[in-house]
Structure 1
Amino acid sequence: MTGSSSTSTDPAGGGTDSAGVADPDGAVSSGAGSAGVVVSVNVARTIVDGPPGGVESSGIDKRPVTGAVHVDDGGIVGDLVVNTAVHGGIHQALYAFQLADLLSWSTELDRQLSPGAAGENLTLDGVDCNLAVIGERWRIGGVVVRVTGPRIPCRTLPWFWGQEGRFVPRFAAAGRPGAYFAVERPGSMCAGAEVEVLHRPDHEVTVRDVFAWRMGRPELTPLISRAVDDLPPKLRDRLARAVATTTSGGDDGGQPAGSEP
């Protein structure tokens, strides 16, 4: 059972299903609870060169680690984050990606993408972080995290995957960006840890919804506004600008595919 499959809103305009909302200190009482597993915990130990004409260096090359890691409000202790203007920080302390999506891209690109290949700290199975609701709280091992939004791809990802041309729009069209998390309770976690959904906001706005909006779907602004209280500051500011522009008859909120957040 996925952590949020019963709550997702289709960015293309489909309907939603209801789901239970929990006491923040307990498991969701309806439709959730134990939802999946961490297949791999991944960190960058070395810095790699960035793409030509892009960032000079990157911490995207994350590799699986054995044993437990400690997680604080900045992420996994010992993980290298280089371009801190757009990566890391308390609202992007951890990044998760689906094992199924790595396998799917491996087939589509004819290139083996192992856990960590998307630059993710957590490779997940059995819980779909793309369908997680913004503000949803998970317990992973001894750590409590909160879903804050999608990863917005830049030039580094297609370069790291050996792709040329218009890969970022292709990645955007797939609608499977992975999710960022803030750390609400530090602790330890390891590969094999269960993912348990503790609390799910009732606005039903998912990571995939916000991703679609950020990648050029300003008509989703009213939907995203339902999640304003659970958005991190940068997204909240962007939403405020989008609402103001929409009110004045402009067109804002999204961005050209491939630009930085």
Structure 2
Amino acid sequence: MKGEIITLSVGKPKTFDWNGKQVSSSIGKTIVDECFLTFDSFTGDGVANEDFHGGKERAVCFYPYEHYAAWEKQFNVKLEPPVFGENICGTGWLEKDTYIGDVFSIGDAIVQVTQGRIPCNTISKFNHVPTFLSRIVETCYTGYFMKVLKEGKIESSSQIVLLERKQEDISVWEATKVMLLDRKNKAEVERMLKLEDLAEDWTSRFQKALQK
């Protein structure tokens, strides 16, 4: 199966005025036709909150385009990608169909899925939908992050091709569900910790969950 890129987007943090409060965020990205992906990030991309975004294991943020129609219907709004601050809005690789450790080629680059995304209320503020964050958490339709195994140019016409599947036990959706909703379930947390290709940040968070 191959996925298609709907939008390829990059952007540095900007200052937004939300209810009279100045907030820095890179959620408002700009669509581009092509961009070079380094081990750290796309050229011209950046993050404001380094606790949840950025770093080598979160160099690429992907969001499935298939979710857009459902969100539009649920909230009665028009959503034009990339409203989740994603670098790639693409088809074919939903959280339930994608597994931690999956390796993809996208253009000249090769990337590997490392973790789901931990969303923040910036999504609600940016889209003017107060309940957006809570619904994303409830559904675990968060999108996910990838690290870069091979740098290269990606074009908006590039396909997203699965090269290798390291395991078929834990999907991105399952891992995200445990992280966001079920961290008190020690058996599930221990299962997550067996993932060799899980991002260090999530490994640390799961380890801390076991200690509580």
Distance 2:11 2:162 in 1: 27
Instruction: Answer yes or no: is the 8 Å Cα contact 2:109–2:151 preserved in 1.
Output: yes
Match of 1:20 in 2: none
| Equivalent residue for 2:4, pick from 15, 19, 37 | 37
Provide Cα deviations, 1:5-48, integer angstroms capped at 9, x if missing partner: xxxxxxxxxxxxxxxxxxxxxxxxxxxxx421112101125613
Distance 2:68 2:106 in 1: 21
TM-score by length of structure 1 reads: 0.74
The 1:203/1:237 distance shift into structure 2, 3 A limit, reads farther
Q: What is the CA-CA distance between 1:52 and the residue it aligns to?
A: 5.3
Equivalent residues in 2 for 1:5-16, closer than 5 Å: none
Instruction: Answer yes or no: is the 8 Å Cα contact 1:144–1:186 preserved in 2.
Output: yes
The 1:40/1:192 distance shift into structure 2, 3 A limit, reads same
Q: How many residues in Structure 1 have an aligned counterpart in Structure 2?
A: 209
Q: Does 2:201 match 1:226? A: no
Distance 1:128 1:119 in 2: 17
Amino acid paired to 1:240: Q
**Secondary structure of residue in 1 paired with 2:71:** helix
Instruction: Answer yes or no: is the 8 Å Cα contact 2:100–2:113 preserved in 1.
Output: yes
Q: Does 2:71 match 1:105? A: yes
Match of 2:157 in 1: 192
More strand by share: 2
Match of 1:92 in 2: 58
Instruction: Answer yes or no: is the 8 Å Cα contact 1:42–1:122 preserved in 2.
Output: yes
Q: Gapped runs of 5+ residues in structure 2? A: none
Q: What is the CA-CA distance between 1:226 and the residue it aligns to?
A: 3.0
Instruction: Answer yes or no: is the 8 Å Cα contact 1:71–1:187 preserved in 2.
Output: yes
Q: Does 2:97 match 1:135? A: no
The 1:221/1:45 distance shift into structure 2, 3 A limit, reads closer
**Secondary structure of residue in 2 paired with 1:74:** coil
Instruction: Answer yes or no: is the 8 Å Cα contact 2:13–2:47 preserved in 1.
Output: no
| Structure having the higher Rg | 1
TM-score by length of structure 2 reads: 0.89
